[in-house]
Amino acid sequence: MASQIPDPIKIALADPARNWKVIDGSSLDKHIAIECDVVIVGTGAGGGTAAEILSTAGLAVVMIEEGPFKSSSDFRMRERDAYQQLYQESAGRQTKDKGITILQGRSVGGSTTVNWTSSFRTPPDTLKYWQQQFGLKDYSVEAMLPWFTQMETRLNIEPWGVPPNENNDILRRGCDALGIPNAAIRRNVRGCWNLGYCGMGCPTNAKQSMLVTTIPSALDKGALLIHSARVEKLAHGLGRVTSLSARGMKMGAAGVCTEAGDIKITVLAKHYIMAGGAINNPAVLLRSALPDPHGNLGMRTFLHPSAACAAIMANKVEAYSGAPQTIYSDHFLSTQAINGEIGYKLEAPPIHPVLAGITLQGFGIEHAQWMKRLPNMHVTIALLRDGFHPESVGGKVGIRADGSAQLDYPISEFVWRGVRRSLLSMAEIEFAANAKIVVPMHEDGKPYTSWKEAKAEIENLPMKTLRAHIASAHVMGGCGMGVDPRKAVVRGDGRHHQIENLSVFDGSAFPTSIGANPQLSIYGMVARNASLLAKALGGKLGGNIAG
């Protein structure tokens, strides 16, 4: 029996009147070549936004996505299926030294299909830093406002009117008890059921991801979507990209495409847009041996390295239920200068058994003691704002022998100091919210029963790779923008400094991290830059395009 929730994607695909052009790269049996105005690599926040704007302008758009085309009827709220189907490297992507685990989407809609819906405009401090350090004069709060407003309207980004779930309310109560300012997070949802399984793909289509908004819109306007295809290289000469080569993915034994097959897909376009996410974008450009006269490509890749601290409460928390991440505090971003000691944003993530299990330390009884208290568990995470200090230069994307991307992100002492401070802040807040036990997610973390004990212990925890469990859900930079080609890969409008018909339209263009969940920063920046590109390519801009 089918779900009672209509699946708008499956319905549209079956409707001849919609005439969607979709190619499954994994089922191609012969090489194909396609011509178009613009080809977009990646269908996440950047690619999806660009696809709608450019196809609305009347340009012939091709989107290429490495992941599969899954939609609401496929989203069954099961971690074991979702992580394998919808995430890069089965949600097990890691930095070179395996010290940071990276959650990044890989399906049509990219990370927007699986993110937790947190929506923040780029913080004014971050924009100011970009203006001062990277000469990005167009990125003022005032100049960006119409682009954020446009995308907020498009994706129904609004205050969340429902009370926070207990997991988030604990963060609120703990902050309140200590006089730490906190606020509600806006979300990109429409008619949300408050289920709490956003990370496994929204089963009710409430989340206004690219999958259910801009991509269907682009397909309705005649864009072509090629999914399950991996982009390998851009051919180039005389300062221009001349073609893009991709391969259809090969279906693996687990029903997941894990490697490219033999079928070649060639795209000839007037303009090429990279929106495959930080890590993947620099990898394609590195494989293509594009000009990189100042060695900026792949450098300054940022992660918002995130530490986590769990608490066991007297009452049920059921942090797997109810909208994730609805309360935040930026207090510790603003207690010091943006270019001083590293600041961090506090949030309360959803806690599902697999995600909790792999993040908690230990094995056997030590591990099971926490798993058995899952219903009473609260977790706070601290997202560290990297990239604003000389000792926080982020990581470097490189290419392995097999051509795949690898991020080398050694955690500096500067960042480790921030991890320790964040664990102290989180523990104090959790005890202020009446936690019975607090345990930092760290191999040497023990259960602490008072703030005094926790403080003494956390001050002595070794801050070392693989000891503290560090994760990231926000990969940014690597193709950073700036006016000076010696310090940047692309200009402020996303166009490549050396290659005329190439743009980078996603989080990889950020010259630092954002200091907030990045989706709305990507939407705003790309809405602006895609509109400028549409104009430059002779597209017709509709009345709904700001600026």
Partner 1 sequence: MIIPSKRRTFLKAGLVASVGLGLINQLHTSAKAQPANPSEASDLGTFDLKKLKNADAVLIAALAPVILAGTLPQAEDARKIAISEVVDAFDRTIAGLSPLVEGEIRELFSLLHFSLTRKYLAGVSKPWDEASSTEIAAFLSSWRNHRFALLQSAYQALARLMIACWYGNPLSWGAIEYGGPPYGKELGL
Q: Which of 235, 289, 368, 536 binds partner 1 (CB under 8 A)?
A: 368
Contact range with partner 1 by CB under 8 A, out of 161-169, 355-363, 429-437, 508-516:
355-363
Q: Is 466 in the site for partner 1 (CB under 8 A)?
A: yes
**Alpha-carbon distance 138 to 287, whole Å?**
31
Interacting positions 90-119 with partner 1 (CB under 8 A): 90, 92, 97-98
Q: Is 335 in the site for partner 1 (CB under 8 A)?
A: no
Q: Is 3 in the site for partner 1 (CB under 8 A)?
A: yes
Q: Is 149 in the site for partner 1 (CB under 8 A)?
A: no
Cα separation values, 313 from 122, 371, 445, Å = 34, 14, 18
Interacting positions 50-79 with partner 1 (CB under 8 A): 76-79
Cβ-based nearer residue to partner 1, 149 or 412? 412
What 3-state DSSP class applies to 176? Answer: helix
* Residue whose pair of structure tokens reads 């847009």 in the numeric block: 273
Q: Which of 14, 33, 358, 456 binds partner 1 (CB under 8 A)?
A: 358
**Alpha-carbon distance 60 to 53, whole Å?**
11
Q: Is 258 in the site for partner 1 (CB under 8 A)?
A: yes
**Alpha-carbon distance 476 to 46, whole Å?**
12
Cβ-based nearer residue to partner 1, 183 or 358? 358
Q: Is 162 in the site for partner 1 (CB under 8 A)?
A: no
Q: Is 194 in the site for partner 1 (CB under 8 A)?
A: no
Cβ-based nearer residue to partner 1, 10 or 294? 10
Partners of 312 in the β-ladder: 377, 437
Contact range with partner 1 by CB under 8 A, out of 132-140, 350-358, 414-422, 503-511:
350-358
Q: Which two tokens stand for residue 545?
A: 């395009």
Q: Is 204 in the site for partner 1 (CB under 8 A)?
A: yes
Q: Name the nearest CA neighbour of 67 among 92, 49, 42.
A: 42
The β-bridge relationship of strands 240-251 and 396-399 is unpaired
Cα separation values, 258 from 100, 261, 345, 437, Å = 21, 10, 34, 41
**Angle, alpha carbons 494-496-502 (nearest 5°):** 90
Cα separation values, 444 from 59, 97, 467, 508, Å = 56, 19, 7, 34
Q: Which of 357, 398, 410, 447 binds partner 1 (CB under 8 A)?
A: 357
Contact 64/39 with Cβ under 8 angstroms?
yes
Q: Is 24 in the site for partner 1 (CB under 8 A)?
A: no
CB atoms within 10 A of CB 161: 8
Tell me the site size for partner 1, rule CB under 8 A.
53
Q: Is 203 in the site for partner 1 (CB under 8 A)?
A: yes
**Alpha-carbon distance 366 to 351, whole Å?**
18
Contact 196/75 with Cβ under 8 angstroms?
no
Q: Name the nearest CA neighbour of 86 among 102, 101, 67.
A: 67
Q: Is 4 in the site for partner 1 (CB under 8 A)?
A: yes
Shortest gap between Cβ of 343 and partner 1 (angstroms)?
A: 28
Cβ-based nearer residue to partner 1, 371 or 536? 371
Cβ-based nearer residue to partner 1, 43 or 88? 88
Q: Which of 17, 253, 295, 390 binds partner 1 (CB under 8 A)?
A: 253
501-510 in b/e burial notation, b at 16+ Cβ within 10 A? Answer: bbbbbbbbbb
**Angle, alpha carbons 528-107-23 (nearest 5°):** 95
Q: Is 408 in the site for partner 1 (CB under 8 A)?
A: no
Shortest gap between Cβ of 382 and partner 1 (angstroms)?
A: 21
* CA-CA-CA-CA torsion sign (163, 168, 170, 171): negative
Shortest gap between Cβ of 449 and partner 1 (angstroms)?
A: 21
Q: Which of 80, 137, 452, 540 binds partner 1 (CB under 8 A)?
A: 80
Interface contacts to partner 1, rule CB under 8 A: 1-5, 76-80, 83-84, 89-90, 92, 97-98, 193, 195, 197, 200, 203-204, 252-254, 256, 258-259, 320-321, 353-354, 356-358, 362-365, 367-369, 371-372, 374-375, 400, 402, 404, 443, 465-466
